[in-house]
Amino acid sequence: MWDDPEAARDHMQKVAALNRYVEPWDDLQGKLTDLQVLAELAIEEDDTDLEAEIDEELQAALAQLESMKVELLFRDKYDDHSAILSINAGAGGTEACDWAAILLRMYQRYAERHGYEFTVVSSLDGEAAGVRNVTATVRGFRAYGRLKAEAGVHRLVRISPFDSSKRRHTSFASVDVIPEVDDDAEVSVPADELRIDTYHASGAGGQHVNKTDSAVRITHLPTGIVTQCQNERSQHANRRTAMQLLMSRLSELERRKQQQELDALRGEQRDIDFGSQIRSYVLQPYTMVKDVRTEVETSQTQAVLDGEIDQFIVPYLQMKAAEGD
């Protein structure tokens, strides 16, 4: 612990995260024990006045139990890991790039709600607005376990702010989520299989970022997998992050080969176009967000775009858990 402060910090963060999930169960057990004692006392003394209080406390305990059952849905090996989130604009041109940027903001807000650390590591701006593609790390306990439900194509219907005729447009963006693997992951990459390029970062970061080749792009030659990072001021830091992204993607590829299931971690891959969406967001002529997989829907579109997406994530996880059972 003393010799490796970074490892010690990661370890303590895991302990703190686990405590956050253990403590509610201990609290619930204490409440139920108190209720049992109170009920036995009421029966012994034939005190009917306590019946309403006991019933109210019992209902509160049941509600707490239902919310805690969500934690039992995280069964996969990598559910406790942090996540690597990628968003790619699909059919729709400038509209799709703007939609990708809206999704990026939605997931950033979601991460804030759960206390996750959200960091954009690479992005390519759209020609007129938004982003063509973006990759971010979402670090926190069970970030992958939750966000894996978001993998797929997301469809937006709205009156275009970029159309002078105010016509309704449909846009698409795909979301990809994989677990972030530890530095000691069992993946070995020979140096001669890598091509490492440096370039000027195009994003925010001040004069230092734009005047030096601080951004790093790593290509794994055998598979063609490319990862890059440009958000750090140091080329060394960007290289380390890009390498970790590459290790995560190679680990996922290896798991897929072992399991021989294309849908093992990211679900079915489809074209980013009509008929392939997992969720639709309609802003005009009416407001509705509907998940195609679970049929869950809501008219509170702004709340959803502000990061309130557990209402879709939890039913999906419940559905997948039921299929597994």
Radius of gyration of the CA atoms of the chain, in A: 23
Tell me the CATH number at 125: 3.30.70.1660
In total, how many domains does the chain have?
Answer: 3
For residue 50, pLDDT beyond 50: yes
- pLDDT-derived band at 206, boundaries 50, 70, 90: very low
Tokens of 268: 């079915």
Q: Which of 325, 313, 297 is nearest to 152 (CA)?
A: 313
- pLDDT-derived band at 116, boundaries 50, 70, 90: very high
Q: Are residues 209 and 312 in the same domain?
A: no
- pLDDT-derived band at 139, boundaries 50, 70, 90: very high
Tell me the CATH number at 213: 3.30.160.20
pLDDT for 126 equals 86
Q: Are residues 126 and 147 in the same domain?
A: yes
Q: Are residues 10 and 42 in the same domain?
A: yes
Dihedral sign, CA of 254, 256, 257, 258?
positive
> Averaged over 132-148, what is the pLDDT?
93
pLDDT tens digits, residue range 12-24? 877 887 887 788 8
What's this model's pTM, rounded to 2 decimal places? 0.72
> Averaged over 216-220, what is the pLDDT?
88
Q: What is the C-alpha to C-alpha distance for residues 248 and 225, in angstroms, rounded to an integer?
A: 11
Domain span at residue 252 reads 191-259
